[in-house]
A and B are shown apart, each in its own frame.
Chain A
Amino acid sequence: MTLLYTEVEEELRASVRDLLADRCGPDAVLARIESAAPYDMELWKTLSRDIGVAGLLVPEALGGAGATAREVAVVLEELGRAVAPVPFLTSAVLATRALLEIGEEDLIQELASGDVTAALVVPLAASPYRSPAEAVTVGADGTLSGRVRAVAGADVADVLLVPAGPGALYRVTAEHARIEVAPSLDLTRPVATVTFDGAPGEALGHVERRKVLSFGAGLLASEQLGTAQWCLDATLAHIRERHQFARPIGSFQAIKHRMADLWLDVVRARAAARNAADLLAEPAGDSPELAVAVAKAWCSEVALRVAEESVQLHGGIGMTWEHPVHLYLKRAKAGQIALGSPGAHREALARLADLPGPL
């Protein structure tokens, strides 16, 4: 158990960061978000083939890297730092985790290589603590029908993993669903409405949706940490350079004190995110559930606070489309809602930390 980064993790971070610096700079992302292909699937293929990120969670015997949530978290930090439009969270974390829970092997091997991309068909806003009304039903002929809104990564998925019926997970080929991308708040992780109308599905087995979502929420905290870190760094660079009243605006205490507070929030976000990743990697002693709730509740709010302050402290330029900070604000706001809002995770702590509510 360590809250620090291992050497292997730092090496992984460096390769991801180098590639993103080369291929996924702010200008490239800004240009892409309004194109016909908001997700950068070429970058995704390179990340998967050259660095092996798609198969991090997959055992070596199945063609993966046999790594853990700790390495996944480091990749997420870097992807968050670049608001990289790739389906890592949706395919390599959520969908892969669901398949691992079931013990499905063939599809996992395909996902590990990055050749095939999958998405779990749940709203990105799904909470690990709440059972949703059944959105997709299984007909007498075994086909699936229903509609799920705000699904992330569906439009670039080859395979859809659809929870339907009590705890069952179905595999549906993407062509058999209608996937309509909605204009999305988060431009770098757009969501789509997925409709099934008598789609042929293959039952894969039983999956505990709650566990998969909790795993994703705990790791999303690391992505939020990366987003927050970029906003903090960008703001620091700006306020050191920007002069008003004949001095850098970063020399005014009214601004410095806010930066100090934000920094302290990020320091604590890092500790919380590392703790969750570590316990998700090896849930030996302590249950990861509490660590996940703490990390997602805290990191959601910190990422959003730092992004909002970043817009404010950039002044006029922060309000423009041209400056990339809005991409981070939008990612942070969407991330707040994703996989359980901060309030939902705090509510769970009432049980997890033995702090029961009013009788």
Chain B
Amino acid sequence: MTAEEVESLARGFLAEHDPGGDRLEFLRARFDAGLAWVHFPAGLGGLGVHRELQQVVEQVLAGTPQLDTGVQAIGLGMAAPTILAFGTEEQKRRFLRPLWTGEEIWCQLFSEPGAGSDLATLATRAVRDGDEWIVDGQKVWTSGAHHARWAILVARTDADVPKHRGLTYFVCDMHAPGVDVRPLRQITGEAEFNEVFLTGVRLGDDLRLGEVGDGWRVAQTTLMNERVAIGGAPVRRGGGMIGVVAETWRSRPELRTHDLHQRLLKLWVEAEVTRLAGARLREQLAAGQPGPEGSGMKLSFAALNQALSGLDVELRGEEGLEYDDWTFRRSDSVDFFGRGAGYRYLRAKGNSIEGGTSEILRNIVAERVLGLPSEPRVDKDVPWKDLPR
């Protein structure tokens, strides 16, 4: 299918559906027309064409009802590609449509108090009981769990084998009895994250994604997509966090000093080369020559966001000593660029921790891109139950 054909399809759809009518009806119809994510297969919201052609659709449908990408981030960026890759036909038909329209929100039950960077050592257990699994454990750093209908969950189904081999991937029903979501207050004052306690939660075997014991491989798909989702979004020149800081700089000449100026210019250069590297990466992907650059984009994004948001607070002087609101409340969505400078500074601290710490990402770059040998491992061939903890 050519770009012209996709465009005419989108125009035809727009002629038949009133974007001013019911928002949800419009989005459902758009999904059914294959215009949700064009690279997905026909019948699952796509057309089975190259993902670059999505831009064509977005241009035609600009100004029509849009997704709430903040609240839907985990569903769209992580759950959907994983379900597409590992789900059964039935699971794809059941989950993808309401996931895309936003009727059902998703969250991610991966990290645990005892398993962060070493995710594969996680201890949440899933024990088979006939056609069901009984899940017990505790998850943490779960954004949006308080309005999620479903979660992607990794749990241990075999403690007698080495840690990577005993995991299984599930879709968790967040409305099931035994799921307890508690807000977790963060350094910003609000609770964007939660801790989730799972006590005797019964999940049908039809909620299992992939084979029993294959959960680590399935989770890799989710994590790779997560890193692209956090660091790989296109920005225009001077956009994103540098745009926020440059705006302060331009509108408040009284705040300028020579030292701040030097540092701002340095960061502006870094933001621009990072943007160009992202653009180059997308060109490589479009040309079918996927480069290893992707693994590094989140690293750059995190470092830049932190430096820029820190400079923004410093630059504001007296105003930088104030904070917009410490009230403990649940946030509705993740917003790196919103609210006050103090909030942005504190929120950015999470950028080098969430979705793989910068330390782990450096290991990934060093080992998988640069081919450097791994550190000696003491936990590789030891059954999970025998690991020291």
| Stretch with Cβ within 8 A of A (4 or more), from B73-81, B182-190, B266-274, B341-349 | B266-274
Q: CB < 8 Å: which of B261, B359, B365 contacts A357? A: B261
Q: Which residues of chain B come closer than 8 Å to A253, judged between CB atoms?
A: 359, 362-363, 375
| Total cross-chain contacts (CB, 8 A) | 132
Q: Which residues of chain B come closer than 8 Å to A355, judged between CB atoms?
A: 246, 249-250, 261, 264-265, 268
Asked if A129 CB lies within 8 Å of chain B CBs, one says no
Whether the Cβ atoms of A251 and B250 lie closer than 8 Å is no
Q: Which residues of chain B come closer than 8 Å to A2, judged between CB atoms?
A: 283
CB distance from B56 to the nearest CB of A (A): 19
Q: Which residues of chain A come closer than 8 Å to B300, judged between CB atoms?
A: 264, 268
Q: Which residues of chain B come closer than 8 Å to A252, judged between CB atoms?
A: 375
Q: Which residues of chain A come closer than 8 Å to B283, judged between CB atoms?
A: 2-4
| Stretch with Cβ within 8 A of B (4 or more), from A155-163, A326-334, A345-353 | A345-353
From known contacts A3-B279, A271-B280, A274-B280, infer whether A263 and B273 are also in contact, taking CB-CB under 8 Å: no
Q: Considering only CB atoms and an 8 Å cut-off, how many residues of chain B contact the other chain? A: 46
Whether the Cβ atoms of A357 and B373 lie closer than 8 Å is no
Asked if A53 CB lies within 8 Å of chain B CBs, one says no
Whether the Cβ atoms of A268 and B279 lie closer than 8 Å is no
Distance of A208 Cα from B258 Cα, bound (Å): 30
User: What 0/1 pattern do residues 277 to 295 of B give for CB contact below 8 A with A?
Assistant: 1011001100101000100
Q: CB < 8 Å: which of B258, B273, B287 contacts A298? A: B273
Q: Which residues of chain B come closer than 8 Å to A3, judged between CB atoms?
A: 276, 279-280, 283
Q: From B372, which residue of chain A is reached at the shortest CB distance?
A: A250
From known contacts A251-B372, A259-B372, infer whether A267 and B296 are also in contact, taking CB-CB under 8 Å: yes
Whether the Cβ atoms of A263 and B369 lie closer than 8 Å is yes
Interface residues in A25-81 by Cβ distance below 8 A to B read none
Distance of A236 Cα from B369 Cα, bound (Å): 11
Asked if B378 CB lies within 8 Å of chain A CBs, one says no
Q: Which residues of chain A come closer than 8 Å to B279, judged between CB atoms?
A: 3, 271
From known contacts A251-B375, A274-B280, infer whether A349 and B265 are also in contact, taking CB-CB under 8 Å: yes
Q: Which residues of chain A come closer than 8 Å to B375, judged between CB atoms?
A: 251-253
Whether the Cβ atoms of A358 and B277 lie closer than 8 Å is no
Interface residues in A196-237 by Cβ distance below 8 A to B read 236
Q: CB < 8 Å: which of A251, A256, A274, A358 contacts B261? A: A358
User: What 0/1 pattern do residues 360 to 382 of B give for CB contact below 8 A with A?
Assistant: 01110111011111111000000
- Interchain residue pairs with CB less than 8 A apart (14): A240-B371, A251-B376, A253-B359, A256-B363, A256-B372, A257-B359, A259-B366, A260-B363, A271-B277, A271-B279, A294-B269, A349-B265, A353-B246, A357-B261
Given contacts A3-B276, A346-B265, A350-B261, could you give 17 more A-B pairs where the C-beta distance is less than 8 Å? A3-B280, A3-B283, A236-B370, A236-B372, A250-B372, A253-B359, A253-B362, A253-B375, A260-B296, A260-B369, A267-B277, A268-B274, A271-B273, A297-B269, A349-B265, A355-B246, A358-B261
